[in-house]
Amino acid sequence: MAELVFFSGTMDSGKSTLALQMDHNHRARGRRGLIFSKLDRGGEDRLSSRLGLSTAAHEVHDDLDFWDTVVGHATSGQRIDYLICDEAQFYSAEQVEQLARIVDEMGVDVFAFGITADFRTQLFPGSRRLIELADKVQVLQVEALCWCGRRATHNARVVNGAMVVEGEQVVVGDTAPGSEDLVEYEVLCRRHFMRRMNSAAARAASSSPDVLPFDLDLCPVPKA
């Protein structure tokens, strides 16, 4: 039976790489599918991985209706066995419900990939609805690492080198320096997220005689 599966993890946990691999595996077995993504780092109409792999994809705009799109492909004679939906945290709750309907009424597998929580540790609307509706929620096994070496569990937004916890939920990071405000993202362990200690702040503290009021070694690299 078809399923709606949500693969979740922090940044750098291999979500897009897995999405590309799953599409390859299904196509290698003769199945046919559609790939969707939104605000991908590689630009519009792309699904790309930080490893350098990429493929063409359908861009998920706010007004895209998954049901109408898939039905349109099916009625034009195209067989659709599965959907790959990357950056699903940016989808609306209504779009996630459309994906669930496709699974239930058309028997099409939907594999969604996304970040669960934003830089404020609040659930994205798309991720929240996926958790509520998915047949399975799977946390990726590839562990992203904080600068201290511990498992990273939180996504931090960094503006001009300093971590911030206020602002719009969706802001795409700049890919080239030189803008007025350089927005980047970094994964941190909970301890350093709560202390607002991103890697730049850690480097500054370690070279300063007045180290922040906690020992930087409180988060040692786990021993093998």
* DSSP codes joined into one string, 22-63: HHHHHHHTT--EEEEESS-TT-TTEEE-TTS-EEE-EE--TT
DSSP state at residue 217: G
The two structure tokens encoding residue 163:
């971590």
The pLDDT assigned to 50 comes to: 75
Residue type, position 159, single letter:
V
Just list the catalytic residues: 87
Q: Where in the chain is the domain with CATH 3.40.50.300?
A: 4-139
Q: Helices marked H in 79-218 — which ranges?
A: 93-106, 125-133, 190-194, 199-206
The pLDDT assigned to 209 comes to: 42
pLDDT in tens, the chain (224 residues): 899 999 998 887 878 889 999 999 999 999 999 999 998 877 888 898 877 788 899 999 999 999 999 999 999 999 999 999 999 999 999 999 999 999 999 999 999 999 999 999 999 999 999 999 999 999 887 778 999 999 898 989 999 888 998 888 888 765 445 556 788 899 999 999 999 999 988 888 876 544 444 445 444 444 44
The two structure tokens encoding residue 130:
């996926």
In angstroms, the CA 194 to CA 210 distance is 20
Check: CATH 3.40.50.300 for 4-139? yes
